[in-house]
Structure 1
Amino acid sequence: MTDSAVLVGRILIALLFLGGAAQKAGDPGSVVELLARLGWPGWLVWPALIWNAAAGLALVLGLWVRPVAAALALYCGVTSVFHFLPEDPWQMTIFVKNWAIAGGCLVLAAHGSGRFALRPDGGAAG
């Protein structure tokens, strides 16, 4: 049951990042606007798209789960800054969700890929 739960959890978290990659590909302008609001260059949408897609696929396949999940947790923390708009309840919900996703990624980083992975990395780190 544990390995099945880890697999399902990996896939569900990965879907968020794969969906983010698809959103960036389909409507890069909205991400460019978020970046511009904080003075960041718009071209960062493209490395973010590639990272979202690659990291999502790595989680689904069970490749390098620990380091990818740790990096995704950091990514969620950084990108939450774009949604910290206290006057906008919708953006604040996204802000909080980013931190919740970071928490799930940290659990994956600590626990590992589980048995159902192309590159299983064992149980929890010591």
Structure 2
Amino acid sequence: MSGTFGVATAIGRVFLSVLFILAGIGKAAAPAGTISYIESKGLPLAPVAYVGTVALELGGGLLLLVGFQARLVALAFAVFCVVSALIFHLDFSDPVQQAMFLKNLAIAGGMLFVFAHGAGGFSIDGRRGA
């Protein structure tokens, strides 16, 4: 994939990855608040969920940024976004939560697009023919 489509694919992948990298940095900088928020939703093992979330957002975000194992990472992010929407953003009486729910579904849709079509030519996967 080259030309306009290749550039658009790379830019889209970068935009998606930056969202998760910044979210991971934010969570890493505020562990107590993030763990408390996870606990407030009644999830067991909140510290474990916290570590897994930060690892996925930072590690997966960086992998997506460079386009390495992008299909697998994108699938993991798609599942993560849907599960997060269902756990954290189901209060549709709150317009902000409704918007967050829909945002998560939209991001999951973008990730499914990466899963289906790959990272594109401007990526490690693209250079390897993945």
What is the TM-score normalised by the length of structure 2?
0.87
Q: Percent identity?
A: 33
1:15-73 residue CA offsets vs partner (Å, 9 max, x unmatched): 11001101101222332233112221320111110110011111110100111111110
Would the alpha carbon gap of residues 100 and 122 (structure 1) be closer, same or farther in structure 2, given more than 3 Å must change? farther
Q: Where do 5+ consecutive residues of structure 2 fail to align? A: none
**TM-fit CA distance, 1:122:** 5.2
CA RMSD of aligned residues (A): 1.6
Q: Distance in 2 between matches of 1:11 and 1:31?
A: 25
Q: Is 1:21–2:24 an aligned residue pair?
A: yes
Partner residue in 2 for 1:118: 124
User: For residue 22 of structure 1, what is the amino acid of its counterpart?
Assistant: I
Q: Is 1:74–2:79 an aligned residue pair?
A: yes
Q: Residue 106 of structure 1 is aligned with which of 72, 90, 112?
A: 112
Partner residue in 2 for 1:87: 93
User: How many matched pairs?
Assistant: 123
Q: Distance in 1 between matches of 2:120 and 2:53?
A: 27
What is the TM-score normalised by the length of structure 1?
0.90
